[in-house]
Amino acid sequence: MSTDQAAVDKSAVERSAVDKSAVGTGVRQYHIGIAPGEVGTVALLPGDPFRVPLVAEFLTDVREVAHRREHRTMTGYYKGRRITATSTGMGCPSTAIAVEELARVGVTSVIRVGSSAGLQPGVEPGDLLVSEGTLRNDGTTQAYVHPGYPAVPDLAITTELAAAARRLARTRGGFAVHTGINASDDAFYAEGPEWIAELHRQGVLNVEMESAALFVVARLRGMRAGMICACSSNLVDGTSVYDEKNTRLKDGWAASIEAALETAVRLEL
């Protein structure tokens, strides 16, 4: 095949190839199983589908909308505001899919509520961690944007998440609230001592696996995004609450959910 013929064939394929960014709007979404009208304008995003019911415990008039693959969705009301909860699954690839499809059915704001590991002294299991931006150590966002493109949350959501968390800490006690830069990694078991030490040296507050995609995709699709996580462990001092008998992490999840719900109401998301 000549160079000219190859160029013509490539051009023809490009003209006929499916543009995924231009299809699938206004219909039931393939991965998350949701159609327009079945969700509110704001969605809380835990990673684990079995934590969606934890969000639902705070809501009234709850109904399960869909549960496909790792994406489970329930919708209800909190203080008169319609709230959706959708699980993203683990990592940036499935998070990007969830955010893309939520945008297509009418969600305009997303708040991640999940778990994250602390990287600085004084960050205790059960504490709340509010992201001010993410170090993009993932592969998914590289497919979307320039390597230097920042993964940053919505400023008003971030400010209100921190304020709501601190109000809860004052009235309820038992946990502290931290804000700062987090890292978003792809490979959970590849986070070796050298990488943890490097993140610690750079002052990174915590590490998780979803926020890079959350912030970048939301920004590209004109959505507002934020993240508040409960600390599950501290990777620099070896403390952990990965124990079914320990309630600190579950209490942290509940506090993060309540802070996110209060933020949604106060900002009328």
Domains defined along the chain, listed by start: 27-266 (3.40.50.1580)
Structure tokens at 268: 């009328």
Task: Determine the Cα–Cα distance for residues 140 and 146; give it in Å rounded to an integer.
Answer: 12
Task: Determine the Cα–Cα distance for residues 100 and 24; give it in Å rounded to an integer.
Answer: 10
The CA angle 190-197-231, to the nearest 5 degrees, is 75
Contacting residues for 259 by C-beta, under 8 A, at least 6 apart? 128, 161, 164, 165, 168, 228
DSSP 38-55: SS-SEEEE-SSGGGHHHH
Query: Which pLDDT tens digits describe the chain residue by residue (269 residues)?
Result: 566 565 556 676 667 788 887 777 889 999 999 999 999 999 999 999 999 999 999 999 999 999 999 999 999 999 999 999 999 999 999 999 999 999 999 999 999 999 999 999 999 999 999 999 999 999 999 999 999 999 999 999 999 999 999 999 999 989 999 999 999 999 999 999 999 999 999 999 999 999 999 999 999 999 999 999 999 999 998 877 666 566 888 999 999 999 999 999 999 99
Contacting residues for 149 by C-beta, under 8 A, at least 6 apart? 136, 141, 216
pLDDT at 186: 97
pLDDT at 3: 61
